[in-house]
Amino acid sequence: MSTSGERLLEIRKLAKMYGSGAKVTHAIADVSFTVDDREFVCVVGPSGCGKTTLLKCVGGLLRPTRGDVLLRGRRVTAPPEEMALVFQEYGRSLMPWSSVRNNVVLPLRHKNLGRKQRNALVEEALDAVGLTPFIDHYPWQLSGGMQQRVAIARALAYQPSILLMDEPFASVDAQTRGDLEDLILRVREEFAITILFVTHDIDESVYLSDRVVVLTHGPTEVKAIIDVDLPFPRDQIATKELPEFAHLRGHVYGLIKRELVESGEELAATMTTATKGDRP
Partner 1 sequence: MSGRAYRSAAIAAEIAVPLAILAAWQVWTVHANDPLFPRLSTILVQFREMWLFSQFELHVVPSLTRVGAGFAIAVVLGILLGVPLGLSRWGRLLAMPHVEWWRAMPPPALLPISVALLHSIGNRQKISFIAFFCLFPILLNTIDGVRGIDPTFTETARSYGVRRLERIGRIVLPAALPQIFAGMRTSLSLAVIMMVLTEYFSSTSGVGYVLLISKNTFQLAPMWAAIVLIGVLGYGLNLLLILLERRVLSWHRGWRAAEAQ
Binding residues vs partner 1 (CB under 8 A):
56, 59-61, 78-79, 81, 83-85, 87, 89, 91-93, 95-98, 106-107, 109-110, 138, 140-141, 154, 158
The length of the chain in residues reads 280
CB of 168 to partner 1, least distance (A): 13
Q: Which is nearer to partner 1, 60 or 218 (CB)?
A: 60
Q: How are the residues of the chain apportioned to helix, strand and coil, as percentages rounded to the nearest 5?
A: 45, 25, 35
Q: Which is nearer to partner 1, 46 or 60 (CB)?
A: 60
CB of 95 to partner 1, least distance (A): 7
CB of 102 to partner 1, least distance (A): 9
CB of 45 to partner 1, least distance (A): 21
C-alpha to C-alpha distances, 60 to 1, 57, 197, nearest whole angstrom = 28, 5, 16
3-state secondary structure of 90: helix
Q: Which is nearer to partner 1, 29 or 83 (CB)?
A: 83
Q: Which is nearer to partner 1, 92 or 115 (CB)?
A: 92
- CA count, 13 A, side-chain hemisphere, 275: 5
Q: What span, in angstroms and rounded, lies between the C-alpha atoms of 148 and 263?
A: 34
3-state secondary structure of 42: strand
CB of 164 to partner 1, least distance (A): 8
Please say whether the beta carbons of 43 and 208 come within 8 A. Answer: no
Q: Where are the alpha helices (DSSP H) in the chain?
A: 51-58, 90-93, 100-105, 115-128, 144-157, 174-191, 202-208, 238-241, 243-278
Please say whether the beta carbons of 66 and 222 come within 8 A. Answer: no
Q: Which is nearer to partner 1, 110 or 116 (CB)?
A: 110
CB of 107 to partner 1, least distance (A): 3
Q: Which is nearer to partner 1, 157 or 255 (CB)?
A: 157
